Chain A
Amino acid sequence: MPDLAHSLPAYVPWIIFCPALAGVIQHFFGAKLPRKGDLVVIAGIGASLAMSIALMFQWAALPAGHYFVEAWEWFRLTPGADGIAFDMAIVVDGLTASLLCVVTLVATLVFVFSTGYMKGDPRYERFFFWLSFFAVAMLILTLADNLLMLFIGWELVGLCSYKLIGFWSEDLVNAEAAKKAFIVTRVGDVGMLLGMLVFYHYCGTLSMRGIFAGVAAGAVPATALTWAGIGLFFGAVGKSAQFPLQIWLPDAMAGPTPVSALIHAATMVAAGVYLAARMFPVFTPDALQYIAWTGGITAFLAALVAFTQTDIKKVLAYSTISQLGYMMLGVGVGAPWAGMFHLTTHAMFKACLFLGSGSVIHAMHHAQDLKDMGGLRKKMPVTFYTFVLSTLALAGIPFTSGFLSKDAILIEALGNGHIVLFSLGLFSAFLTAFYMARMVWLCFFGKPRNQEKFDHAHESPLSMTVPLIILAAFAVSFWFTLGAGPEDEFANQFYRTPAYAQEFPKTDAVAHAYWVDGKKPANWHASHGPRWFQIVAMVLGLIGLGVGIALFRSGRRNQNARILPAGVHELAAGKYYMDEMYLDAFVGAANKTADGCRWVDEKLVDGAVNLSGAVGLFIGDASGDADDLVVDGAVNLAADAAKGAGALVGTAQSGRVRNYLAMAIGVTAVSIIVLVFFVIG
């Protein structure tokens, strides 16, 4: 086995430090800097972007399967080489390199966009500080080669998400949404923590290398491995808003739109997919089943809800949940590379859609309901064209990036025999095209429905349109097939060769072979797959778009028109009543239990203490002294208190206090003597 690990290029930690440094400078000196220091923050993330691209090329120059890795000791509990120590570690393989580029690129563009979008906000500088902090946390998460470090980044992005969702928390609705996001994802994090504990218990380490080695050596019993995998994945369920923890993401749209684009579409919510792909070698077939079904169900359920929404951001939010479900489906059917590929393409076009919606919202003076829109394509041509291009990618129309990645997931599902999940995915793809066509039409075509807002609308400034154009450019499939031969294309290069894949061959418990031998199954790529599938997928997408447009074109149907059958519509519009159910079943129950515990604490536990105190007093009473000593003593203590410190140290009449103390010490002494004689006998 050749040594596949290379030592890390020295600049890699600076990918994290640059935005961190920029954030610190901006935080402390932002008020004094020109433009409140937004340029510093953009320079910080820009430097990270440049280094990330350089790193990607440097990694690509390595032979296939090789990677960069480095670990530093963080702290140590027992000495010696085999002592207990915890490390910080960074790994750079295809997964890292690609996600790194996605994160830094989208972040840079969103930062630039924000200079226009957030202009004039009273807390402009705070916004940029938190954006920068988020970038740092996300980069920690991305680069981590250690579950502990990953978990730290994981929680910190959660904090930033909390802070940014509630950025305008003068309004309690926003604060409520932020709280909900934090607590719901924390439920998932508990699962993740438990998964980590299982791995630590059996493998004695949290480094991924150690865990893979341990799993490959069979250190973890099969059942425990399944549960550990599901536990880890539950963290991803929370973070990536998968069923049944998806309820927080739509509410998270309360945050400023650039935040929705960066955190709640492109990067943080995708971190769950990244985790699942990175830890793929530890998932047992059972765990993968769970992942696949979670993804498939989420993709379908969220797509249905998207039909019932009239808020432009809410439609996109449900679409994001649905697409994240797709990615999970990819991981679950044994093709994490496909999930990661969709993550990459989705990050670009969904960020573009969100920023586009931000551009519209900006133009409409913070109106974001479709009922106020219509006919905007002439007023905002750049926003319109970029939005449409990204919509095509989301719908999976040929020659777009989404076509490549979505097909990759579906064909993997089919190729690995998940017929039901495949059909579910295919149907969801049709729904996606349908609801996106509906939204584009209602927003940009037809007659303006709110003439006053329409008259005031205008194209956004360059700081906002340029990021849109760049992101939209990545919606074209060209970039993702660049320099790739038929057998060796982009996705293959990046996502099929994660670190350690060759070093730790699978055991029977880890049944899926893709990572390990690098061999492609016969029907691996769409071009090798059944032709009928591609045609069906394409036609379904086009029909979806066509139906969506046709239904709304004539103007007979307005934004509130029901497309779904009545019963389904009710259910979807009510978000399957999961919020209400959780409120009743969990929040309500927790509050009731808390009140119950409080009652127990005050009445029973403390009651017992007070009762024994009273009994003590009663016994003391019998001896005739207690009243004088305890009750009087207490009362007099208060009086003494007022008389000054001198009383305390015995210069004035503090006799009572001393009596009291004498009694206390006396009681103690007697108890001790009794006890000692009793014990010694």
Chain B
Amino acid sequence: MLLTLAIFLPFLGMILILRAKGDDEKARNLGLVFSIVTFVLCSIVAYKTYGLESGKYAAEIDVSWIELGDSFHVRYHIGVDGLSGMLIFLTGLLAICAALASWGIKKNVRGYWAMFLLLHTGVIGTFASLDTFLFYMFWELMLLPMYFLIGIWGGPRRIYAAIKFFLYTLWGSVFLLAGILVVYFALSADKLPDEITAKNPQALTFSAWRAANPDSLNGADANVFSIPQVTAYAKYMVGKGGILAAFGDLSLFGHHIAWWIFWGMFIAFAVKVPVFPFHTWLPDAHVEAPTPISVILAGILLKLGGYGMLRLNFPFFPQVFAEAAFCLGVLGVVSIVYGALVAMAQTDFKKMVAYSSVSHMGFCILGFASLTTEGINGAVVQLFNHGTISGLLFLVVGVLYDRAHHRDLNRFGGVMWKMPVYSTMATIAIFASIGLPGLSGFWGEFLAFVGSFSGHYHHAKIITVIATSGLVFTAAYYLRAIQRVYLGKVNPACEDFPEITKREKWSMLPLLVPTILFGVYPKPLFDMISTSLNTLVETVKQTGLAG
């Protein structure tokens, strides 16, 4: 119930705001109140995931929703484990910060807040879904408000950016839906071809497997859309043909069908992450989006990509995942180094931060590719910490933009002496992003490196060595930015910048606190996620390709 409330309370808020005709102030207050309540609910739900056993979910609800024919049973199945719990908590946290940063929105206030809240319904719903179809519905639902938030409240080229964002993500989603449907067809076929059973006598069809383990997974009926069931079945079928065993040895252009579906789904999520070369929508979207939307975009929407990989892509196709490790590693390292280099060449502060996101999300891919406990844990912690840190950085840029009305790094100077409190917060955010130990950004990078160096694919060590060069480039572009904006003599144009307001400060503090707290004491994060991730690591280990 709690989780359902967390998902649909923002939706309720949206309706209330739309009914509050002509009253902008009321819409703002309603938006903030609903964000805060959502945050509280998200925190409770996240807290409930502590100490959960592997394969168990907190706040789980599983009821029938759409029933078509014998096997097309879409269920309203939601629940959270440590992984989704952590990201739901992050969503709640960023909702408050973004809400506080939205006070400056003057155009179409009610519409803005309505879309703002609808976005959260989509995001939290996606994180909470344990049904592939439900997952897809929420995944698509989230696109709509984001499209409008960029396209209406954005900067000069907002239309271009919004359409690009929309079509790019939609294009990716096609592959996701195709994947979901192929899995559906394979599992509901309820027969295995002879070539599979001949090679693997123990291979079972989905329903037979479910019938053989009636008590597992809360004793639920076999359901091909159930993420926990398919995950467990995929684990069982490792080395026995995988979940697409029903298609036998069906190959396209020399690759097995599972390979195609894995990479198709990967593209869907890679667009969101974003992974090179699918990242070019990101700088446009970020530069055009208003500050709070940039915060959510970088802080949460990018995480959905990584989450989708961990929830659907990797556990459904562990064999292909393990075989793809080298390609993933290459994609990761290219994102890291290339993203950092492109960031280095930027003169627009916001664009620089946007490319730094490409670079930092590359650590997630690098960590995934390692197939090791350290690497995958590091990647997931990076998801959370990049969420807070990049959110913070976009707020930092936003504060500056509100005063200067431009983001050109070369037209600032000496802001430190005019806005000491703000500049201190900005410096902490930047150093967290550089990966300074003691701040939360360090752990993800460090563990991704640790894991990646022990990665189970060819040239893992060389790839890691190349990736570490990103550390130097990152320091270079960030320190250059600090120098140009905050240090030196006060630029006459910055002479009358007022210190940050209380509201601005409060929009940054909820992100600053976890940045420092989890930097010093990361244990709560790891305690939360490690159980869920260990299951994945075990599954991958069964392929024999990971240690």
Which positions in A face B, CB cutoff 8 Å? 74-78, 84, 148, 151-152, 155-156, 159, 166, 169-172, 175-176, 179, 182-183, 186-187, 189-190, 193-194, 197-198, 200-201, 590-591, 593-595, 597-598, 601, 605-606, 608-609, 613, 616, 630, 634-635, 637-638, 641, 644-646, 648-649, 661, 664, 667-668, 671-672, 675-676, 679-680
Contact = CB atoms under 8 A, between A and B. Distances in A.
A172 B344 CA distance: 20
B277 A637 contact: no
Contacts of A664: 166-167, 170
B530 A78 contact: yes
A156 B437 contact: yes
B523 interface: yes
Given A193-B449, A676-B182, A680-B185, A179 B479 contact: yes
14 contacts: A75-B522, A148-B446, A152-B437, A159-B431, A186-B472, A189-B471, A198-B453, A594-B345, A594-B473, A641-B108, A641-B152, A645-B112, A649-B111, A676-B182
Contacts of A601: 280, 338, 342
Nearest to B355: A601
Nearest to B160: A634
Contact of B374 (A84, A172, A634, A644): A84
A668 B144 CA distance: 14
A646 B112 CA distance: 11
B436 to A, nearest CB: 6
Given A594-B344, A679-B252, 11 more contacts: A74-B523, A77-B377, A78-B534, A169-B483, A183-B472, A183-B479, A193-B468, A590-B473, A672-B174, A676-B182, A679-B178
B9 to A, nearest CB: 19
Contacts of A152: 437-438, 442
Interface in B468-502: 468-469, 471-473, 475-476, 479-480, 483, 487-489
Contacts of A148: 446
Nearest to B114: A645
B174 A597 contact: no
Contacts of B173: 668
Contacts of A172: 483, 487-489
A84 B447 CA distance: 12
Q: 10 tightest CB-CB pairs across the interface, nearest first?
A: A645-B111, A598-B345, A594-B344, A606-B280, A152-B437, A197-B453, A594-B345, A641-B152, A75-B523, A175-B487
B168 interface: yes
B526 A77 contact: yes
Interface in B46-95: none
Contacts of A630: 163
B13 to A, nearest CB: 14
A175 to B, nearest CB: 4
A609 B279 CA distance: 10
A189 B144 CA distance: 45
B391 interface: no
A77 B373 CA distance: 7
Contacts of B431: 159
Contacts of B168: 609
B164 interface: yes
B526 A649 contact: no
B346 interface: yes
A342 B525 CA distance: 44
Contacts of A84: 373-374
Contacts of B108: 641, 644-645, 648
A182 B479 contact: yes
Interface of B: 18, 107-112, 114-115, 144, 148, 151-152, 159, 162-164, 166-168, 170, 173-174, 177-178, 181-182, 185, 252, 257, 260, 276-277, 279-281, 338, 341-342, 344-346, 373-374, 377, 414, 416-417, 431, 436-438, 442, 446, 449-450, 453-454, 464-465, 468-469, 471-473, 475-476, 479-480, 483, 487-489, 522-523, 525-527, 530, 534
A150 to B, nearest CB: 10
A159 B527 CA distance: 29
Contacts of B144: 661
Contacts of A594: 341-342, 344-345, 473
A679 B534 contact: no
Contacts of B488: 169-172, 175
A613 B165 CA distance: 12
Given A197-B450, A598-B342, A609 B437 contact: no
Nearest to A174: B487
Contacts of B109: 645
B487 A166 contact: yes
A679 B177 CA distance: 13
Nearest to B351: A598
A496 to B, nearest CB: 32
Given A190-B469, A668-B170, A672-B177, A645 B18 contact: yes
B342 A597 contact: yes
Nearest to B358: A601
Contacts of B436: 155-156, 159
A475 B158 CA distance: 69
Nearest to A187: B472
B159 A201 contact: no
B219 to A, nearest CB: 26
A74 B166 CA distance: 43
A674 to B, nearest CB: 9
Contact of B450 (A171, A200, A668): A200
A171 B18 CA distance: 53
A149 to B, nearest CB: 9
A642 to B, nearest CB: 8
Given A187-B472, A645-B110, A668 B479 contact: no
B520 to A, nearest CB: 10
